[in-house]
Amino acid sequence: MQSFRTEIENPIVEKDILDLEKKIHQFKEGKLDEEKFRSLRLARGVYGQRQEGVQMIRIKLPYGKVTSRQLHRISDVSDEYSRGRLHITTRQDIQIHYVDLDRTPELWAELEKDDVTLREACGNTVRNVTASETAGIDPDEPFDVSPYADALFNYFLRNPISQEMGRKFKVSFSSSDADTGLSYMHDLGFIAKIKDGIRGFKVMLGGGLGSQPRHADVLFEFLAADKIIPLMDGVIRVFDRYGERKSRAKARMKFLIKDVGLDGFKELLEDEQKAVPHQTYPIEADAYPKIKIASTPIPEVTVTDQEAFQKWKSTNIVPQKQKGFVAIGIKVLLGDFYTDKARLLADLVDTYAAGEIRLSLRQNILIPYIKEEAIAFFYTELEKLGFAEIGYNTALDITACPGTDTCNLGIASSTGIAAELERIIKEDYPRYISNPDVVIKISGCMNACGQHNMANIGFQGMSVRTKDKLVAPALQVLLGGGNIGNGEGRFADKVVKVPSKRGPEALRLILDDFDENGNGLSYADYYAEKGQMYFYDFLTPLSDTDNLTADDFIDWGNTERYEKAIGVGECAGVVIDLIATLLFESEEKIENAQESFEAGKWAASIYHSYSSMVNSAKALLTSEKVKVNTHASIIKDFDEKFVANGRILVEGGFESLVLRLKSNEPSEAFAKDYLTDAKVFLKAVEQYREQELAEA
């Protein structure tokens, strides 16, 4: 793994990759605890797979933008290090599977040659910043949100305040009031607005899916664009200090908001303002790269099957605000496509469009800047690639996570049932192929990566136990969710649990009833009118487990009898803290603080020093089996357990020392003084620990 060492131009990236390589060696040599190593590799996009000995690599693609050159690079990497399959996620990332851990640094280095990163694609970090795939072309948008999503992504990448939070943090941008970025289900959601001629955003806070979905609160009806990065800086600081860290089930932002209330959170946010390095952070939208449309003449073509062409146009052409252009939606079954087709697609958009694609939240591909006169040509070319299937963003376009195919947390197959439901709609409900009103989503477990609990019709992978205690794959049927717009949404109700093999029958009953009794209403209004119990009554017979057949014990896409096998989930990067490892980390944080200080990055240096002190306190509290749920509790408990009784001498108390970062602006003088305090504190803790071990 020597080749990348001289080829990475960015020294920060090179250091990142070399650090991953070093940690892999330490882990293989037994010098690094497995759980701690897990946390580190997750923050580098390396995720454990259901299959032993291989990894899933998540490639972080801000707001789903991928250039033709980047798509070529990703395809080359997938062929070299994986199996040539690319998977689009519901967060506009691309995942590749079956990668050897030892080769991940080299893989990362190859991607970085075209500015593609793995950094913070997984783990307890700021995850990929998502946005409406139509950003920049949306006829209803007040302005293009892409430059703002891009600026926010760059500001928080490798930012010390967001490297080791209690859980992941998700952000979205919506280009218009249609809220296609789904702000209401994000930790922070931004909806583009213009007020008095000023660009800004409606800001939503504390939404989330999972087993306990929560609708986000309105934090600001309007916030000027130059305030969004300072706002998120403060929000992350509050989340890092007060967010739960031990109980994975309670560690998301939505639970912190639930505990302290929106007004209480605002007070904590105000208390952080001195520490935030920028009170305004102007984003130069005009500096964002301009679109370059290819000038290659469009070849003339003749479409022989005009009926198929017209059907495709009715579902796959997306209006674009730029006169003379449209976008083309490519429906990607289950988000999976292959590198041979990806390269040809990259060449096509580079030669005849604007050299980029956008990945969508529904696991699809959108090609912007297609000249209207080129629609027929693109249709014929996409047809050759198998990319001309009708039904983009319609009922036929079912979203599904990988489920039990590769994910450790998968309980039942999501891809298998999704493929079967799409087949049924095509064959028996063709009128739904062009119906964008019914949204169907499937997740393999309660974590909701397939976003099942915000769908009109959702299915969640589960298991069901018979009276004889036999276990079969099952699906929780959820109904009535949906995006209303402008930050408003509705989460689906849990209606009934049915054996997985009865999922198609459940869909048939639901669609048949909608056809018969919908009376022209939208699906969302139809569900609201009928109510949860109405559907429970006619779906309940499907839940009977007394009459299961042998086929019911075989999940979709499988040939062998179902066995419920859930591995260790890695979505949260749960860490088992070992005292020696923690103190070693504190030393690394001091080194990072020193490097940041020498580079003139005062705010970064201060936060590294803060993290070192809290981490050191956590080490000693852990050694005495004290709960270390939040940074705030660590600080208070350390004063009580170690400072108040004189075991560790800290003049004025640990809380007063460590929280000085909130009462001082991030200046050079304070950064230097604070770093000195952190070094002195770490030395005192290490000496205490050495004496404690000597006396043991």
Per-residue pLDDT at 3 exceeds 50: no
Per-residue pLDDT at 539 exceeds 50: yes
CA distance 52 to 516: 49
H or E stretch including 400?
strand 399-400
Per-residue pLDDT at 235 exceeds 50: yes
Confidence of residue 7 (pLDDT cuts 50, 70, 90): low
Query: Percent of the chain scored above 90 by pLDDT?
Result: 77
- pLDDT given for residue 696 in this prediction: 62
What would the pLDDT profile of 138-161 be if each residue is shown by its tens digit?
A: 999 999 999 999 999 999 999 999
What tokens does 152 get? 């926010």
Neighbours of 1 (CB within 10 A): 15
Architecture of the domain spanning 306-385: 2-Layer Sandwich (3.30)
- pLDDT given for residue 106 in this prediction: 94
Domain range summary for the chain, segments of one domain joined by +: 3-112, 130-287, 306-385, 399-553, 579-695
- pLDDT given for residue 37 in this prediction: 84
Of 18-22, 130-134, 275-279, 378-382, which gets the smallest average pLDDT? 18-22
- pLDDT given for residue 465 in this prediction: 86
Fold of 3-112: Sulfite Reductase Hemoprotein; domain 2 (3.90.480)
Most confident of 37-41, 481-485, 584-588: 481-485
Over residues 674-684, the mean pLDDT reads 97
CATH 3.40.50.620 fits 579-695, yes or no: no
Per-residue pLDDT at 403 exceeds 50: yes
Confidence of residue 578 (pLDDT cuts 50, 70, 90): low
Instruction: Specify whether the backbone of 206 is left (phi greater than 0), alpha (psi in -120 to 50) or beta.
Output: left
Superfamily in which the 399-553 domain is placed by CATH: Sulfite Reductase Hemoprotein, domain 1 (3.30.413.10)
What would the pLDDT profile of 171-181 be if each residue is shown by its tens digit?
A: 999 999 999 99
- pLDDT given for residue 29 in this prediction: 86
Per-residue pLDDT at 571 exceeds 50: no
- pLDDT given for residue 435 in this prediction: 87
- pLDDT given for residue 574 in this prediction: 34
- pLDDT given for residue 69 in this prediction: 98
Q: Encode burial over 238-247: b for 16+ CB neighbours within 10 A, e otherwise.
A: bbbbbbbbee
CA distance 379 to 384: 9
Over residues 121-137, the mean pLDDT reads 96
- pLDDT given for residue 8 in this prediction: 67
Do residues 59 and 41 make contact, with C-beta atoms less than 8 angstroms apart?
Answer: no
Over residues 72-101, the mean pLDDT reads 96
Per-residue pLDDT at 375 exceeds 80: yes
- C-alpha distance from residue 2 to each of 5, 8, 14, 18 (Å): 6, 12, 12, 10
- pLDDT given for residue 442 in this prediction: 94
Pick 204 or 470 by higher pLDDT: 204
Over residues 342-367, the mean pLDDT reads 98
CATH 3.30.413.10 fits 130-287, yes or no: yes
- pLDDT given for residue 10 in this prediction: 83
- pLDDT given for residue 255 in this prediction: 95
Q: What is the DSSP string of 635-671?
A: HHHHIIIIITTTSS--TT-HHHHHTHHHHS---HHHH
Query: Percent of the chain scored above 70 by pLDDT?
Result: 97
Pick 402 or 536 by higher pLDDT: 536
What tokens does 642 get? 């170690």
Per-residue pLDDT at 576 exceeds 70: no
Identical topology for domains 130-287 and 399-553: yes
